[in-house]
Structure 1
Amino acid sequence: MCEKIKKVNSWLSTVFGDQPVPQFEVNTRTVGILYQLAQASEARCSETALLVEDLKQKTSEYQADAAHLQDVLLQGVGLSYSGLSKQATEYVSALVDHAIVLGVRDTSLSSFFPAINNLTSDILEAEKSNRRLERELKALRKRLGATLVLRGNLQEDLNNTKKSQAIESAKAEERLLTMGFVKAKAQELSQRQDKSEAQLVSRNMDKSITHQAIVQLSEDVNALKKEIIPLKKKLEPYMDLSPSPSLAQVKIEEAKRELVALDSQLEMNVDFK
């Protein structure tokens, strides 16, 4: 870790020169990243130095070749670059510029033709790649259009869902309020019922006249009526017989006594209420 920090500080000092090195947080991550950058920078500088040396060597070789050709032209043909016409100088300059653009070692046809063929192949390959990229771009545009449409539909569905959720939330809140009111009302009624039952108990109320007792009595009466129906059917053959006077008198007296008892019971019930 210490060696990495030393290397990083040395590299930063070299990079910024006379300017102060910016402050940074010293931890394992930052030191590791800066150390990798320092190594990559040194490797790149080393490669650049080698490339510069190679270019210097090629420049020396080209200068030696140019001097040799000038000597050949001067000694063999008697021509020098300064003795050429303006048009010839332009041609030579254009030839040199083309050679530099094509990256050939010399200006001979054997060097130009392969370079031109390679450049033509590169152009054809670039056009082929361009057509492929155009097809991919069209496909991407088509998919992008479909994606935008889908996104719009999803956004619309989302908005509808939010609206529905808001409505359902309002309904749920209303139900909760109603439920709370019903619970409070039920509790109030239960308290009132308990209070009423306590008052009835304190007044020694007869349970036989309660609603539940009356309902039970009504059910019993209905059951008795159903039992009386077959008995009435059995008595139907005897209904046409003439009643005995003495027996009828007894029945009349019994009916009178029952009527008196019912009147007394009715008066008691009225007085109780």
Structure 2
Amino acid sequence: MVEPCEFSHLNCFHVPHPQLEKPLRANGTTGLRVCWRQLFFSAFVAAWLKKIFGDHPIPKYEVNPRTTEILHHLSERNRVRDKDIHLVIEDLKQKASEYESEDSFFFLSFIPAVNDVTSDLFHTKSKNEEIKLELAKLEKNLTATLVLEKCLQEDLKKAELHLCTERARVDNRLQNMDFLKAKSEEFRFGIRAAEEKLSARGMDASLSHQSLVALSEKLAELKRQTTPLKKKLESYLDLMPVAIFITFFFLKSSLLIFPKGPE
């Protein structure tokens, strides 16, 4: 016959237990009521403690409904915690697997990236070497240009100094030229006035300055022409009659060409 247990909050039922009935009757107990829920909790707690401690001995504790309930509650919380830990472990394993896949992908992508970076680095180094060579050439050209610029500046200073000197000389010559022009005009007017005075006094036109200059030029031309003839006639001077005749002829020709004017 099943009857309600005194532990009504645990929803237990009491039933007669034949093995425990005799000891309890010796103590004056009229009957035995066993709570099956309490027995189930006790068995569950015992199994849980054995699982927890393993080969180690289980510590002794007072077996009563309260301790059994507390241990059962702890076992339930432990079970829930183990379940959560198991889920966390599975999640971590899944994430580790995903991370390993990503690592493999990144590693496979890393090798070409390293090759590309190495190629870019080599290209950059080559470009830097070319830039260094160009920079060295530019520095050399710049040095030569600076030297040339310095030489040009010195030449420019010398040219400016020479230009100043030449300008002063040209200015001096221009002043002298102006002075000479003025004097020339003055002399020209004086010569013209003198010629007018001489013409008024009845002077022959052949004795004028221009006529004398023309005769002087004509005489110089005749001397130039007779110089070869003189050299040619030197070979005939040994012949006395011929030399006298030639001399007489030459003098006569000279008198005919240059008649003696009035004094």
**Is the TM value for this pair above 0.5?**
no
Q: What TM-score, normalized to structure 2?
A: 0.38
Quick check: which one's helix share is greater? 1
Q: What TM-score, normalized to structure 1?
A: 0.37
Q: Select the structure with the greater relative contact order (CA < 8 A; seq sep ≥ 6).
A: 2
- From the CA coordinates, give the structure whose radius of gyration is larger: 2
